[in-house]
Structures are given as C-alpha cells and as structure tokens.
Amino acid sequence: MNLYLNGKLALITAASKGIGFATADMLMEEGTKVVILSSNKNNIEAAAYKLKEKHNRDVFSIVCDLNSLESIFLSYEKVKKEFGEIDILVNNCGGPVPGNFESLSDEDWDKAYIQVLRSAVKLAELVLPNMKIKKWGRIINITSLSVKQPVDNLMLSNTFRTGLIGFAKSLSNEVGKYNITVNNVAPGYTLTSRLIELAEIRANEKGITTEDEIKTMGESVPLKRVGGAYEIASLITFLASEHSGYITGSTIAVDGGAIKSTF
C-alpha cells in the first residue's frame, strides 16, 4: 500500500529511543524526511546515526528540552530555517514522574503540565500556520491508555494526557476545514525504557524481579504479552498517511485489549 508519505517532512519529538525512535524509523521507511528531537545530545545523535546508517539518507536531529517553552520555540525556529516547514507533527514526550496525589510536589505538577500538555500545544501552534497555507497537515499526539482508564500511581499522566486529548479534539474541530487532522494514539504496556522504569518500581514494591513484573503486566492483557514500540509506530505511520484522511479528533488505543471499556 502506498502511504503517500514520500517527500513529506515530519517532526518527531522525544525520539531518541522507544516509540518516538520506532516512529522515525517507520516514517523513513516510507520515504518521509524526518527531524528527530530529544533533550539528550548524545542519545539523539546516536539515534540519528543509527537511522542514517539503516536508511542511507540524512536524518536531522535537534537537542530540545520539552520542559522549556523557550527551548521548544528556539528549536523549532532552527528546524524551520534549516529544513523547512513541517507537514507531520508527532508530539511525544518523556513520561511524567509516577506518583499518587499525596506524593507529588507543586514542582512535579508544574513540570508535568509543560512536559505533557503545554509542549504539545506550543508545537501545534508553531506548525499550524504552514499547514493551513498548504491545506494539509497531520498532528498526532502520543498519550497513554490512561486517557481511557486511569493507571494507579500515575496521577500526572492520568491528568495531563486527558487534558491533551481534550485539546486535540477541540483543535480538530477548528482546523478540519484546512484538511488538517489531529489524533491521539494511546499505547498500553510497550516494551521500552519507560516500561522497564515503571516495572522496576512495581517490582521493588512487590519484592520480585523486573522481568517477572513485565511478565505479569503482559499476562494481565487479553493478548497475553506487552507490546513493542513498532506496533505503536505502525498506527502513527498510518495516521500520518494520506489513507487516514477521514480520521480526526480520535483517540485510538494500541494496548493488546488492556482497556476494559467498549469505547
């Protein structure tokens, strides 16, 4: 199937590893030009090198801290100047710190607001003027199954990711007339460093190994396993493509059936 992604320019945030990296890899497979961004210079350069070697094409990397609106603005100015205007924005971020209501500080709340919600709003604001002129654009936010079913001990994720899908739905209503779609992907348990970090915390609490905790997570899901980053990236790539042109304002789970509700 031709996804008609050849020649488009995508910006994927938080892409040095995990879901962001897999997305960059899959989009490059489809001929998309990609700019990848992350806060860690060594990691993002290593990721860019890996992608370049694999696809034998240039990939552009930018160091940007998604916890800082100034860093986002300056990085985006650089992207625009050096690589051009963005057709596809994949808003990803590092996971906010785990914790329940009693354990979180004011600083945790303020940081998670910028990291999860405000950064995605700012990036949408930066890419939209050109998408409107071109009358084509894709904005895809990576959220979590926590937007449909809150996860214990992930108070910040449960709160701000739900805010993000509210924003995305409202924005999709406003920009549909420009042929711009805005959608959210909600991963379930996905084997990346984020999952290993969460599994470690739970394993320590239970006095079991991290491997056993990951196995337990997998067994709790109807498909009886945790997912892989490329299984999330497949949906993101489809949503970025021409074939998803009539899907907007949607939140689609890739969770092995973990969410218990019918919608």
Q: Which residues lie near ligand NAD (CB under 6 A)?
A: 14-20, 38-40, 43, 64-67, 92-95, 142, 144, 187, 189-190, 192-195
Q: SS3 breakdown of the chain: % helix, strand, coil, rounded to 5?
A: 55, 15, 30
At closest approach, how far in Å is the CB of 66 from ligand NAD? 4
> Residue number with the shortest CB distance to ligand NAD?
18
Q: Quick one: which of 68, 73, 61, 70 has its CA closest to 11?
A: 61
At closest approach, how far in Å is the CB of 194 from ligand NAD? 3
CB burial readout 215-231, b (16+ within 10 A) else e: bebbeebeeeebbebeb
Give dist(CA 164, CA 238) in Å, integer. Answer: 21
Nearer to ligand NAD, 46 or 132 (CB): 46
Nearer to ligand NAD, 114 or 175 (CB): 114
Nearer to ligand NAD, 95 or 137 (CB): 95
At closest approach, how far in Å is the CB of 191 from ligand NAD? 7
Angstrom CA distances, 82 to 38, 53, 132, stand at 17, 21, 21
At closest approach, how far in Å is the CB of 54 from ligand NAD? 17
Question: Using an 8 Å Cβ cutoff, are 89 and 24 in contact?
Answer: no
Nearer to ligand NAD, 142 or 155 (CB): 142
At closest approach, how far in Å is the CB of 79 from ligand NAD? 14
Question: Using an 8 Å Cβ cutoff, are 168 and 123 in contact?
Answer: no
